[in-house]
Amino acid sequence: MSLKLAGDEMSAFLDQVFPQVRGMFAIDRLDDDLLVMRLHANEQHLRPGGTVSGPAMFSLADVAAYVATMARIGPQALAVTTNCSIDFMRKPVAGADILAHAKVLKLGRALSVTDVLLYSDGQPEPVARATLTYSIPPDR
Amino acid sequence: MSLKLAGDEMSAFLDQVFPQVRGMFAIDRLDDDLLVMRLHANEQHLRPGGTVSGPAMFSLADVAAYVATMARIGPQALAVTTNCSIDFMRKPVAGADILAHAKVLKLGRALSVTDVLLYSDGQPEPVARATLTYSIPPDR
Amino acid sequence: MSLKLAGDEMSAFLDQVFPQVRGMFAIDRLDDDLLVMRLHANEQHLRPGGTVSGPAMFSLADVAAYVATMARIGPQALAVTTNCSIDFMRKPVAGADILAHAKVLKLGRALSVTDVLLYSDGQPEPVARATLTYSIPPDR
Amino acid sequence: MSLKLAGDEMSAFLDQVFPQVRGMFAIDRLDDDLLVMRLHANEQHLRPGGTVSGPAMFSLADVAAYVATMARIGPQALAVTTNCSIDFMRKPVAGADILAHAKVLKLGRALSVTDVLLYSDGQPEPVARATLTYSIPPDR
């Protein structure tokens, strides 16, 4: 699947539609094969012990699936998450950013399905995995 | 299943273990049948259009499942979410609080499973549903 | 949500579109509030020890969600499952039928979401829970 | 993660613990990186149109996750599925076997988490994906 938006265009689009999370995420890589998104570990997302919280990891998986889908269909601010299943498998490393590796498994007319693996920056084993379905507005 | 913690004890416990979300949630009801938790709609959780974001709803479902489980086993700060599936079904009402209705379906030695329905305050139809599994430390 | 098909009409429709599972399931109750479907415990669905297998319980949850949705939109043989999350919580009682209690949580233009609780016949605690999403063809 | 059981030992173990599905599945590949399991398309698993049914695909994903886990911990007939999320993404090719590609993402003391992609034999795009959690008995 070829891309309709490059990484810097996508970053600008995200800042525009989700101003309230500006600075929270960054796009490390965006190409045909893979999207890598970064969650900057900061006070707001940490649990006691300094590890990133489950809801912050959910946010990262959700935005990564959105970005991976938008990159393929073009900017559609109205696409919405309809389903997510997420497994939390390991404790994140304290203080480390979280990286999401997202792959679009299906891009249909009405739905996209994206798999996401989450890693503590620098670690080989994933801390979580998620699959997200986005509903895509019919009028694109 | 009878309760080991009442609503006010649980609120105090939550403030202690999750100081970073203090004031975000409130316990509206906690008894043998049902837990009702409230997410106060405020700037931080809103999307453009004034509706509560998916990640904020995930946070509410997660903390509601935690509270419903803790109320039955006693305070165990170390219990961790291992799995969540969530379906976003309707757009929340702009500006309205979100209420989570949580029921513990299973309380085993090692795992709890909790169903959660999320409503915009005052609306009859749920905006989302979630099921969460918590892993419970063996040494309780 | 009022019903477009009664229990006996639905049974006839099921036999027609899924002839290969004829006799496997029965509709115990079908009204506006609830569908109760029965899986007849027989050799084919049993694991060693005489309990109903996970895949047989998945089949029951899947057909129950289908029936609950069809009863509301009218017969649409082409509706397909797009997502299921299922939690297996307790060992079923050996030799007992399994009953599915299904409720449609959302009926949209393109998707339905149905919650299902599964019980060993005569037991108060559920053996499993599932949520299923069906994609509904646009031309109904 | 190195393996405790080779493919032929695993096949013999499966025949012993699940005699009722003998001949339904085959192990095409089993090594440190990947398990490939095959579901033989036959009458019993087909829907009208000749495509493999959703419950048959669930069965394949379930047994593949079981085999991938058992290969790493040694034969534990008592391990049980506690959770599965599955997305059905494309219609399988009529009459084709289904292949499951399974990877164990986590092997803990009490739980394993396995990702499974399902393909119609010979096709590049997956027809479904699933993630399964197995509970592992403590006395291994």
Lowest mean pLDDT among A10-19, A124-133, B87-96, D30-39: A10-19
- Decide if A80 touches B, using CB distance below 8 A: yes
pLDDT at D129: 98
CB contact under 8 A, C85 and B85: yes
Chain D residues near residue C54 by CB distance under 8 angstroms: 62, 81, 84
- Chain B residues close to A39, C-beta within 8 Å: none
At A16 the pLDDT is 84
Q: Report the gap between the CA of B88 and the closest CA in chain C (Å).
A: 10
CB within 8 Å: A81 and B59: no
Residue D35 scores a pLDDT above 80: yes
Residue D87 to residue A129, Cβ atoms within 8 A: no
pLDDT for position B63: 94
Residue pair D136/D67 in contact by the 8 Å Cβ criterion: no
Residue D65 in this model has a pLDDT that exceeds 60: yes
Stronger pLDDT, B78 or D120, i.e. the higher one: D120
Contacts of B82 in chain D (CB under 8 A): 111, 133
pLDDT digits (tens, 9 = 90+) for A57-99: 999 999 999 999 999 998 877 889 999 999 999 999 998 999 9
**Per-residue pLDDT at D48:** 65
Which range, of B81-85, D47-51, D134-138, averages the lowest pLDDT?
Answer: D47-51
Q: Which residues does chain A have within 8 Å of residue D112's beta carbon, measured at their own beta carbons? A: none
CB contact under 8 A, A85 and C85: yes
Q: What does the pLDDT average to over C79-90?
A: 96
More reliable by pLDDT, C49 or D117: D117
Q: What share of chain D has pLDDT > 70, as a percent? A: 94
Q: What value does the mean pLDDT of chain C take?
A: 90
**Residues 6 or more apart from B20 whose CB is under 8 A from it?**
A43, A44, A46, A47
Q: What is the mean pLDDT of residues D27-48?
A: 86
Region D133-140: what's the mean pLDDT?
81
Q: Do D133 and A90 touch (CB under 8 A)?
A: no
* Angle, CA B131 vertex, CA D66 and CA A129 arms, to 5°: 55
Residue A84 touches chain C, beta carbons under 8 Å? no
pLDDT at position D2 is 79
| Chain C, nearest residue to A136 by Cα | C110
Give the residue-averaged pLDDT of A105-119. Answer: 96
According to the model, what pLDDT value does residue A48 have?
65
- What rounded mean pLDDT belongs to chain B? 90
Token pair of B116 as six digits? 């959660």
ipTM score for this prediction: 0.93
> In 3-state terms, what secondary structure has residue A101?
strand
Answer yes or no: is pLDDT of C89 > 70.
Answer: yes
Give start and end residues of each alpha helix (H) in chain C. 7-17, 54-73
pLDDT at C139: 61
- To the nearest whole Å, the CA of C96 is away from the closest chain A CA by 31
Question: What's residue B137's pLDDT?
Answer: 81
pLDDT over 90, % of chain D:
63
From C61's Cα to the closest Cα of chain B, the distance in A is 16
Order across the sheet with D98-107: list the strands: C25-30, C35-39, C98-107, C111-120, C128-135, C80-88, D80-88, D128-135, D111-120, D98-107, D35-39, D25-30
Q: Is the pLDDT assigned to residue D140 strictly greater than 70?
A: no
Q: What is the mean pLDDT of residues C7-22?
A: 84
What gap in Å lies between CA A69 and CA A106, rounded to an integer? 9
- D103 touches A: beta carbon within 8 Å: no
The amino acid occupying position D62 is D
Looking at residue D50, what is its pLDDT? Answer: 74
Give the pLDDT of residue D139.
61
Each residue of C102-128: pLDDT tens digit?
Answer: 999 999 989 999 999 999 999 999 999
CB contact under 8 A, B85 and C126: no
